[in-house]
Structure 1
Amino acid sequence: MSTARDIAVDAPASAGAETPSGKGAKDENFPVGSFLLPKHLRPHVAVFYAFARAIDDVADNAALSSEEKIKRLTAFDAALNGAPGYGEAYHKAHALRESLQETGVTTKHGSDLVAAFILDAEKSRYATWDELLGYCELSANPVGRYLLDLHGEDKAGYRYSDALCTVLQITNHLQDCGDDKRELDRIYMIGDWLKEEGEDFTVVERDAVSPGFRKVMDRMLDGCEELMKDARKLPSALNSKHLAMESAVIVRLAERLIQILRKGDPLARRVALTKLDFASASLRGAAAGFFSAGKGAE
């Protein structure tokens, strides 16, 4: 049987099921399997990311109907869970299954991501904050949970990784709100809050953020700030210094992204972290994570 390292390096692009966008780890806002993680685990993280990227690309492909997206995503999940009859077209699902077998991590995290992307094919608007948090529970939180399980961490840490992953997802939605509407007809703004400000979902089609939209953005960022109270505890809740360092870097990047979204206009121009933001967060976060690991979250 191929090892995770072999799969991560040698996997060919699958035909027939995938719809590659060309995006990769370098296109993400936050580090994916960086050098801070243990070397022997990075290939497994790469396999998990490759699977997530493949199913995300299916969900985001505007040329596919909702029905076709659901069909392909359901097949990826079946292949991940070892159902017979799924061949080379689902190579990344088979690769992840083998990696999970090697590491003893459940397939649930991958299946939850599939469920999130099926939801994207079925649902494009969110009326309440709780609805959006429910989506993030499937679309973002499984990534943090996978990393904790891969490092043998206590599942009690899910509370803190969930908070951080949800913040990353919501801030990404705010960054991409205009593009998400134009390219995918998806809006992750809170519909009920827009109504309270005399706005509706068409607000994201404008060239600049309106006062009402700004209030909704700030309210969503307030929710992120509340989640950050738990997210900041994640490095201390971890025993692995490697994962604590990585998570502390990401905590600082999330804090910085909230700051710039408070001031920026994502409809007028891309609001993004700079190289200086990454450098500062990497230096400060890695040091903080190294010394806080194992101290306990409370």
Structure 2
Amino acid sequence: MSDIAATASGKGHKDENFPVASLFAPRHRAAVLAFYDFVRAADDISDHATLPGDQKIAMLDRMEAALLGSGEDIPVASRLRAELAERGLEPRHAQDLLIAFRRDVTQLRYRDWDDLIDYCRYSAMPVGRFVLDVHGEDRARTWGPNDALCAALQIINHLQDCAKDYRNLDRVYLPQDILAANGAGVEMLAAERASPQLAATLRALAERTQELLKESAPFADLIADTRLAMEVGAIQRLAETLTARLRVADPLSEKVHASKRQYLLTALAGAGTTLLRRLVSPRVAAASVAP
């Protein structure tokens, strides 16, 4: 087993908070899963609890070299490179994610909201952009709302896992200026439950996330591919549900991830609503395929 394979967490696409390739047509699923497997391997490197930082960076550099075909044979990189070549796609989205994973090694704090969104530009937005490119969707129509939704999903994960990230990796994605404005400090993340100051910070960030989700609300109706639109509708509904919960829940002492039953019902509601709009509203269907 290679040193890169040895860092694997064992987590797969079915363990994620949001759907991964669940509704995609078979012709797209292989590319999406190859992308996921590459990103999962790189994420496991950056999140490894005991590897030194310089070793993590070196391994991520090797992942990129393998993706570009100029380094050793790393299976997850080779599979993604083959899928990209078959579809005539560039590796830029995977490379952007590698920038984020390197940043996870070297940057443990974020100044403000803009600093956090810049991180999301590399850590989250490329995922949706890749899926859109695989489906041949119009970048001009879809990348804006995609970026808002992907940033929201990333920040939801940051809020859910804020205590774990701090305790295990000393990473704090909560912007320093918002913490300070509420009289909170990063050390409060080590407590068994959120202090009033930390709770106010988390609530403020959940509210900012709700604004992102307002920006992404039209996304599903801008997508030509109906299956992909349903997937996005499911993710949008799940994100809205989790963000509403994060406004009132304490991720330090409460479970804020959706249960399997909640996940399924919420996702089905979002996907079904998206499909229903296409069936009953000719304007929505027409907008989704307009040039």
Pick the TM interval, shorter chain: over 0.9
Report deviation, 1:24.
0.9
Report deviation, 1:43.
1.3
CA contact (8 A) 2:206 2:244 kept: no
* Per-residue CA distance 1:204-244 (angstroms, 9 max, x = gap): 11111111111111111111111112211110110000100
- Could you list the runs of 5+ residues in structure 1 that have no partner in the other structure? 1-13
Q: Kindly indicate whether residue 104 of structure 2 is the aligned counterpart of residue 116 of structure 1.
A: no
- Aligned match for 1:150, one of 121, 126, 134: 134
| Alignment-derived partner of residue 282 in structure 1 | 267
Report deviation, 1:294.
4.3
Report deviation, 1:104.
2.1
| Alignment-derived partner of residue 20 in structure 2 | 32
| Alignment-derived partner of residue 7 in structure 1 | none
| Alignment-derived partner of residue 241 in structure 1 | 226
1-structure distance, mates of 2:143, 2:108: 27
* Per-residue CA distance 1:32-55 (angstroms, 9 max, x = gap): 110x11112111111111001000
More displaced 10-residue stretch of structure 1: 245-254 or 70-79: 70-79
CA contact (8 A) 1:256 1:277 kept: no
Q: Kindly indicate whether residue 210 of structure 2 is the aligned counterpart of residue 228 of structure 1.
A: no
| Alignment-derived partner of residue 281 in structure 2 | none
Q: Report the secondary structure of 1:77's partner residue.
A: helix
* Per-residue CA distance 1:105-132 (angstroms, 9 max, x = gap): 2200000111100000101111200000
2-structure distance, mates of 1:43, 1:182: 36
- Aligned match for 1:160, one of 145, 167, 170: 145
More displaced 10-residue stretch of structure 1: 121-130 or 279-288: 279-288
CA contact (8 A) 2:237 2:266 kept: yes
What is the identity, as a one-letter code, of the residue corresponding to 2:102?
I
Q: Report the secondary structure of 1:189's partner residue.
A: coil
**Residues 1-298 of structure 1: matches in 2 within 5 Å?**
15-18=2-5, 19-34=7-22, 36-83=23-70, 85-87=71-73, 90-156=74-140, 157-290=142-275, 291-292=277-278, 294-296=285-287
1-structure distance, mates of 2:268, 2:101: 34
RMSD across aligned positions (CA):
1.6
2-structure distance, mates of 1:186, 1:294: 43
Report deviation, 1:166.
0.6
Report deviation, 1:276.
3.2
1-structure distance, mates of 2:219, 2:181: 34
2-structure distance, mates of 1:179, 1:217: 15
How many residue pairs match? The answer is 281
* Per-residue CA distance 1:75-120 (angstroms, 9 max, x = gap): 111111221x312xx2111110110111222200000111100000
CA contact (8 A) 1:237 1:295 kept: no
* Per-residue CA distance 1:55-91 (angstroms, 9 max, x = gap): 00000001111100000001111111221x312xx21
CA contact (8 A) 2:120 2:154 kept: yes
More displaced 10-residue stretch of structure 1: 202-211 or 52-61: 202-211
Report deviation, 1:17.
2.2
- Could you list the runs of 5+ residues in structure 2 that have no partner in the other structure? 279-283
CA contact (8 A) 1:105 1:146 kept: no
What is the identity, as a one-letter code, of the residue corresponding to 1:211?
P
Report deviation, 1:279.
2.5
CA contact (8 A) 1:33 1:46 kept: yes
Report deviation, 1:16.
2.2
Task: Give TM-score scaled by structure 1 length.
Answer: 0.90
Which protein has the bigger helix share?
2
